[in-house]
Structure 1
Amino acid sequence: MTANAQPHITDQSQKSSPWVHICQVDDLVPDSGVAALVLGQQIALFFLSETQQVYAIANQDPASGASVMARGILGDLNGETVVAAPLYKHHFSLKTGRCLENEDWQVRVWPARIVDGQVEIEWV
């Protein structure tokens, strides 16, 4: 999968586990975001190469309504790992989804993990 390709998961009905396989970790761009369509929801996946951690948040920016969060810039503000939304540069925590500049805004987050080189999110 290239940086422009998007994983596409459509059916969770056959699974007994809440964890949904999204892609291989090698499909992700280190220290950047990739968009995926998972069960009808646009997800932004971020892979931090230094910690080997993956994060999953909603791809829609609450400020603009555009599905662009995967194109945001990763950073750290006061010890919190964040993504700066590309249009208005609001910072969202990758752990909680809260906006650091506007307490009324939040993006959904999903627990994410890497198992045997596979990226999974917990779909609950």
Structure 2
Amino acid sequence: MNNDRLPQSWMPVCALDDIVPNTGVCALVNGEQVAVFHVAHGDGSVFAIDNFDPGSQAAVLSRGLIGNLGERIVVASPIYKHHFDLRTGECLEAPENSVNAYPVRVESGKVWVAA
């Protein structure tokens, strides 16, 4: 779980309009599956975390449900319903199952993830 990485490069993932608001998509970034989410409330933020859920040992986080727990914007894994903070990748129920979070930006309607 490390948001402090300095991006080596940015990879285009898709157009922002390709992600239905309040859902996620899976993208291949440098050979790794990354879950990219478009959160429609607030400023329309975009987040990226690992797609692999360590608790269920399955690549499913992009299919999870987006919501919030207090001030935290989270995705609930579709298998065991563990909540992952979209800003940090922290697993709220089992911190040892936390995942990486990646810097994301939107430019000219296109979503970019730090590789």
Name the structure 1 match of 2:61. Answer: 69
For the residues of structure 2 that align with 1:47 and 1:122, how far apart are their CA atoms? 16
Name the structure 2 match of 1:36. Answer: 27
The percentage of counterpart residues that share the same residue type is 45
Name the structure 1 match of 2:9. Answer: 18
Name the structure 1 match of 2:44. Answer: 52
Using the TM superposition, give the Cα deviation of residue 103 of structure 1 relative to its aligned residue in structure 2, in angstroms.
Answer: 1.8
> TM-score with structure 1 length normalisation?
0.82
1:102 aligns with 2:94: yes
The 3-state SS of whatever aligns with 1:70 is helix
The 3-state SS of whatever aligns with 1:96 is coil
* Number of positions where the alignment pairs a residue of Structure 1 with one of Structure 2: 107
For the residues of structure 2 that align with 1:78 and 1:49, how far apart are their CA atoms? 17
5+ long unaligned stretches in structure 2: 1-7
5+ long unaligned stretches in structure 1: 1-16
User: In terms of Rg, which structure is larger?
Assistant: 1
For the residues of structure 2 that align with 1:76 and 1:116, how far apart are their CA atoms? 28
For the residues of structure 2 that align with 1:104 and 1:71, how far apart are their CA atoms? 21
Alignment check: 8 A CA contact 1:82 1:91 kept: yes
Name the structure 2 match of 1:27. Answer: 18
For the residues of structure 2 that align with 1:56 and 1:43, how far apart are their CA atoms? 6
The 3-state SS of whatever aligns with 1:26 is helix
**Alignment RMSD:** 1.1
For the residues of structure 1 that align with 2:96 and 2:50, how far apart are their CA atoms? 16
Alignment check: 8 A CA contact 1:53 1:113 kept: no
